[in-house]
């Protein structure tokens, strides 16, 4: 090798070493995962049976893992401690029917004793989000899978008067900004949350006199979350809570509100959406979904 060629190669090596530590994200490998939400598992109305049916049907689909979008049980808000722990126990046993790694999202019905009528002490070791955290871990976190970054958000704020509302609090917003800022440029991002960030649900309901139709239905600070997605490759947001199957694209981001495992709270279809779950396919930097029903029949149908 002549001296000029040697110096050329040496310069190229040094130049590469001086580049920033991060580089463009590698192409993500195609994969499939499942999104179950709003099982509202309960012994009544065959809720345990139905949830098990959904998980066993999910087992027949080749998927890498699953995400539960919240409201695992029905309900932890207004019940005693023995009832709440019983429901969580039943859910834990039923989830084993799936046979896949499950990531969990906190739902409003998963928080314990958070309703003004509940007499359980707020100092109880399981009060609020503590029962959920004992069973499933952190309420917000992120992870990577095959070149795709997943962010799980906690959309529940517990108030001093033992009420709750849909909001991503200030500390979590700061964490979200830092988590996104640490990503390689153009890395695909998928977000999972319980309360919808964006939804057209009010268009499906009958007219209401309330001036604040969003409260109780979606995040009250949606704009603060949406603003943090700007400049990042968010290829999809998976949501629950309303029990309808819906897709809204806003500012280039697809917001998929997914139908409920429990349908109309185990009473049949919810605004035409039957009991089911969502199959999510990620390929070529895009996220696609399809809704999968699993054959449950309500013993007390009240279809809407």
DSSP 147-164: TEEEEE---EEE-TTS-E
The candidate with the shortest Cα–Cα distance to 256, out of 173, 190, 189, is 190
CB contact at 8 A, 53 and 175: no
| The pLDDT value given to residue 16 | 33
The string of pLDDT tens digits covering residues 137-185 is 999 999 999 999 999 999 999 999 999 999 999 999 999 999 999 999 9
| The pLDDT value given to residue 5 | 40
| The pLDDT value given to residue 206 | 75
The candidate with the shortest Cα–Cα distance to 243, out of 265, 215, 210, is 265
| The pLDDT value given to residue 208 | 65
| The pLDDT value given to residue 188 | 98
pLDDT < 70 regions, the chain: 1-26, 207-215
Residue 11 neighbours by CB under 8 Å, 6+ apart: none
| The pLDDT value given to residue 26 | 66
| The pLDDT value given to residue 57 | 98
Which pTM does this prediction carry? 0.90
């Amino acid at each position: 090798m002549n001296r000029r060629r040697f110096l050329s190669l040496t310069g190229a090596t040094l130049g590469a070493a001086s580049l920033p530590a991060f580089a463009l994200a590698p192409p993500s490998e195609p994969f499939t995962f499942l999104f179950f939400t709003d099982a509202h598992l309960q012994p009544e109305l065959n809720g345990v049976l139905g949830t098990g049916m959904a998980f066993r049907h999910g087992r027949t689909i080749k998927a890498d893992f699953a995400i539960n979008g919240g409201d695992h049980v029905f309900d932890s808000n207004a019940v005693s401690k023995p009832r709440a722990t019983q429901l969580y126990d039943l859910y834990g046993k039923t989830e084993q029917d799936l046979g896949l790694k499950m990531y969990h999202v906190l739902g409003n019905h998963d928080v314990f004793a958070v309703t003004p009528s509940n007499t359980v002490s707020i100092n109880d070791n399981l009060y609020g989000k503590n029962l959920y955290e004992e069973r499933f871990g952190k309420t917000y976190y992120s992870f990577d899978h095959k070149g795709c970054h997943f962010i799980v958000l906690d959309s529940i704020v517990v108030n001093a008067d033992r009420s709750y509302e849909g909001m991503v609090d200030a500390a979590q917003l700061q964490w979200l900004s830092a988590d996104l800022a640490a990503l390689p440029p153009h890395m695909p991002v998928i977000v999972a949350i319980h309360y919808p960030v964006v939804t057209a649900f009010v268009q499906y309901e009958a007219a209401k006199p309330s001036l604040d139709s969003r409260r109780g239905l979606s995040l009250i600070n949606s704009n603060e979350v949406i603003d943090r997605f700007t400049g990042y490759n968010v290829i999809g947001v998976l949501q629950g809570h309303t029990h309808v199957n819906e897709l809204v694209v806003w500012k280039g981001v697809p917001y998929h509100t997914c139908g409920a495992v429990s349908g109309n709270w185990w009473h049949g279809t919810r605004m035409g959406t039957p009991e089911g779950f969502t199959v999510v396919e990620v390929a070529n930097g895009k996220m696609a979904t399809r809704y999968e029903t699993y054959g449950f029949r309500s013993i007390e149908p009240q279809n809407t």
